[in-house]
Each structure stands twice: as C-alpha cells, then as structure tokens.
Amino acid sequence: MSSLTTSQQQALAENVWLHFFQMGHLSSLGARPTVLVRGAGSRVWDQEGNEYLDGLSGLFTVNAGYGRHEITAAMAAQLDAIAYVSPFSFPSLPMIELSAKLAALAPTGPRSRVFLTTGGSDAVEAALKIAKAYQRRRGFAERTKVIARRSAYHGTSMGALSVNGVTSIRNGFGPLVPGARHVPLPYRYRCDFCGGGCADDTCALRYAAEVERLIEFEGPETIAAIILEPVQNSGGAIVTPPAYLRRVRELCDAHGILLISDEVICGFGRVGGWFGAQEMGVSPDIVTCAKALTSGYAPLGAAIVRGTIADAFVSERDADKLMHGITFGGHPAACAAALANLQILEQEALGERSRTMGDYMQRELRAALGDHPNVGEVRGMGLFMAVELVRDRGTRESLAEERLMGWLSEQLKRRGLICRADDRLEPVIQLAPPLVITREEADRCVAIVADAVHALGRKLGTAPVMVALPAAEPLAVAAD
C-alpha cells in the first residue's frame, strides 16, 4: 500500500508530469512512487521512512548536502527583507555580492560580468545569445554557428536543445535553431583512433584536429562559439583530456571563436576546484553554471562572461544593451542561498574533499569491480564518477539490453542507494554524491554498487560471485 492519500494518488495518476519520465508508470491508482520527504547530509528519506544514500546529489545539485540551515536562514532573511526585485530594473544586494563573488572565482577573470538566470538551460541560452550578439557587434553578423560535441547534454530550451548532442532528446521538436554543428567526443575508453585506452595525448589531439577540420570546412567566419563540458555527464563522467581543451582554446583564439565551458555540473567543487576548466588550466570566454550554485536550495544559474566580451554591451547608449531577460533570473532569495552555499563550500574546503573522496571512491570501486566481466571502466574526476558496463570486458562489447537501466536503478535503490543507471551513450552507473559524504557512506555506496553489479552479472549469466555489504551504520532499506 502506498502511504499517499487517495486524492494524492489520484493527482499523481492524472495531474503530475515529471520530466523525462513516462508518467504511464505512475498512472495506475495502485502505483507506489518513492516520495522523498526529508534529507540530511548525504541521506534522504521517503514518506514510508525508508532511508537512502543519495548517490546523485538530487541531480548533481546538492553539493553542500541536505539540511543546511545556514542556507535556509539566509533565504528566509532575504525573503523577509524583500521577496522580489526585478532584474529588468534594479540590482538587489545579494545579486551585487554574488556577481562579485562569481567573478572572483571564475576562470573568466575578475572583471567578468555575471548574467543570472534560473537554471542551466537558460544559462546556456543566455551564453549562446551573448556569443552571437557579441560577434555581430564586432562586425561578424555571419558568425551564427555553434560547435558542440556529439552526445553532450546542454539543456532543453530551444537554443540549448539545438546544440544538444543527444539525438533522442533533440529529435522530435524541429525545426531547431539553425547553426548547430557537432564533433566527435574524445572518449578514451572507446577511442575512435586507437580503439580504446589512449596511452598519451596523441588521440586527444587528433580529436582536436577534428574540431579544426570542421572549423575550416564551415569557414571560421561563420562560427560564433564552441560549447563543451570539461567533464561530460552524458555517457558517464567522460573527462575531456586537458590537451584537447587547451588545443580547442588555441583554435578559438586563432579563429575569433568564443569558448563556452558548460559547468552546470562541473562547477562548485564537483570535479575538485571551483570550475572544471580551471582545473584543466584553460580560461574560457563564458562559463555557464547552475545546479550546485545554490546546492539545489533555490533555482539559479549564471552565464559568467569575460569582461572584454561583456564590454560590447555596456555603454551610455541604450541600443547597446543585451536584449535578453528572465523575470526570475537572479531572484534575491536564490542569490542569498548561493552566497551562503559558496561560503559553506569554501569554509569546509568541499572542493578539496571532492578530490580526495573521489579518488578514494574510484580506487575502492576498482578494487571491488576492477575485474568484473561486465565492468569496462571506472572513471571520473572528483566526486563525478561513472562505472561503464559492458557485455564483455575483454572485447568491450556493448551491453544493449532493453530496460536494463530501469532494472539496475531499481536494484540500487532496493539496496539503499539512489543514483542513475543511464544509457544515453553506453550503459553506465553515474555516481555524484554530496561533497559532504563520509568515509563510511562512501564505503557503503561502493558496496551497494558492487552488489548491484554482481546481481547484474548473475542476471546476464556472467558472474556468480556474491559480495557481502559492510555492516555500516544502519540504513533502513525498502523491503522489496
């Protein structure tokens, strides 16, 4: 029996519309959804009292962990003072402070200007518009194309969707915004050039040469920007080789193209430092961020723009301004949440913690699963990790089973871990716990992943081994 009331059950069946979710699975009155009602640190509880480790930080979002009263108190104080300030007309105090803080942290330099949005898609949307408008102002009205990478996810609004490299998400909504072009993704495990493994930077530079070839083919005078993630989520924590990123930066400089680093997931300690591009020694022209900017306590995103680019929109002439805006962009309570959140990340050195815990978890995952026949690779950067699943470890043959990811997600959840089994590219288990995860929770997380992968092996008939879960702090796991 579900603990929802009959009218809540009815509303779920008829009125609720989750995102990227087949609501048909919840539309019978007997459906038993997991309704999360409480969180503390890295753990969440559902309405029936079952406890889970949150192995995905909500959706790569709750970096500072759940139950942070510093953040909720800052939001309440701001809402009590003034609930709303129009970003079309007035700066709010938290907006001023947050813009200064982001400019100080971002790899776009201290004179960056910060365009605040409500989330990631509209941060990407703003970045693309700024890039195109900037090129036009420099006298390059023909520069309207944007290069992105195949299989990358950059959001769902029409501009962001158009540069999206996930075909199944992009298709079905055409006509899309014209001008998006896609290059192959440097994907070390399944490298197109060496077959996989890439001993050094040779393949990375060959992938960068693909970008160069596309620029030449299209004509540099038609290209406004290149957008990419330092560590790409879609496909499972695929780390961009720094040599590739540096070469792409050089190509952008040589051809007057803007480099947009989409750090909607990578930002705010997820991969170690404040931003992924910084960690790789590259300075982009625009950084897009959202999610952990507030650790999920409020919706907020930003396009952080290098000062020399933003200057093109700043003058005494009204006609020079950027013709773009969002009613809730930079909402004062969201900015207050972000400031309190950034203070926590800084004071508790959670970026550094992400680095050390990420290294530890990757090591432990390799120790537990390194020779499992269905595990191709454990990879990632900081607490942004993935386990790629294969049919055969030796041949790297893909595991292309219908509905396997749903089954695997359920296996993980039954064992007390919420995380994502995803097969937008190859099947992967994605892991990105809150940066406050304890050593015991990390061990528990690894043990559950290992146990679920062994269950997968048994299902596929490849691995009969059982793994005992460590008897850590009790996690009240759903019975079935």
Residue among 66, 115, 134, 153 that touches ligand PLP (CB under 6 A): 153
121 part of the interface to ligand PLP, by CB under 6 A = yes
The residue within the footprint of ligand PLP, chosen from 155, 267, 330, 382 (CB under 6 A), is 155
One of 132, 154, 247, 355 touching ligand PLP (CB under 6 A): 154
Task: Report the alpha-carbon distance of residue 292 to residue 268 in Å, rounded.
Answer: 6
The whole-angstrom separation of Cα 6 and Cα 10 is: 6
Of residues 226 and 369, the one with the C-beta less far from ligand PLP: 226
Q: Is 116 in the site for ligand PLP (CB under 6 A)?
A: no
Nearest in space to 122 (alpha carbons), one of 300, 257, 272, 316: 300
From 257-265, 347-355, 389-397, 422-430, give the range in contact with ligand PLP by CB under 6 A: 257-265
Neighbours of 458 (CB within 10 A): 13
Nearer to ligand PLP, 303 or 340 (CB): 303
The alpha carbon of 240 is separated from its chain's Cα centroid by a whole number of angstroms, namely 14
**Contact region for ligand PLP (CB under 6 A) — 64-72, 81-89, 148-156, 396-404?**
148-156
Tell me which residue has its CB nearest to ligand PLP: 120
Helix (H) or strand (E) holding 113: strand 113-117
Q: Residue 246 Cβ, how far from ligand PLP at the closest point, in Å?
A: 20
* 265 binding ligand PLP? (CB under 6 A): yes
Mind giving me the DSSP string for 440-465?
HHHHHHHHHHHHHHHHHHHHHTS---
Closest CB to ligand PLP among residues 149, 353 = 149
Residue-wise over 160-191: b if at least 16 C-beta within 10 A, else e? bbbbbbbeebbeeeeeebebbbbbbbbbbbbb
Answer for which of 290, 305, 378, 436 binds ligand PLP (CB under 6 A) is 290
- Provide the minimum distance between the beta carbon of 123 and ligand PLP in the complex, in angstroms, as a whole number: 7
468: its two tokens = 């005992």
289 binds ligand PLP (CB under 6 A): no
Count CB-CB contacts under 10 A for residue 443.
17
Query: What is the smallest separation between the CB atom of 237 and ligand PLP, expressed in angstroms?
Result: 12
Q: Which lies closer to ligand PLP via its Cβ, residue 126 or residue 390? A: 126
Q: Which of 388, 386, 448 is closest to 413 using CA atoms?
A: 448
302 near ligand PLP, judged by CB under 6 A: no
Among 39, 41, 65, 119, which residue sits at the site for ligand PLP (rule: CB under 6 A)? 119
Phi-psi region of 246 (alpha: psi -120 to 50; beta: other; left: phi over 0): alpha
Q: Which stretch binds ligand PLP (CB under 6 A): 65-73, 83-91, 260-268, 421-429?
A: 260-268
d(CA 63, CA 141): 40
Positive or negative CA dihedral for 461, 463, 465, 470?
Answer: negative
Per CB under 6 A, the list member of 46, 54, 229, 364 interacting with ligand PLP is 229
| Cα 276 from Cα 282, distance rounded (Å) | 9
Q: Count CB neighbours of 157 within 10 A.
A: 16
Does 120 interact with ligand PLP (rule: CB under 6 A)? yes
Amino acid (one-letter) located at 298:
A
Q: Is 380 in the site for ligand PLP (CB under 6 A)?
A: no
Rounded to the nearest whole angstrom, what is the least distance from the CB of residue 268 to ligand PLP in the complex?
Answer: 13
Closer CB to ligand PLP, 212 or 422, in the complex: 422
Instruction: Give the number of other CB atoms < 10 A from CB of residue 146.
Output: 26
Site residues for ligand PLP per CB under 6 A: 119-121, 124, 153-155, 229, 233, 262, 264-265, 290
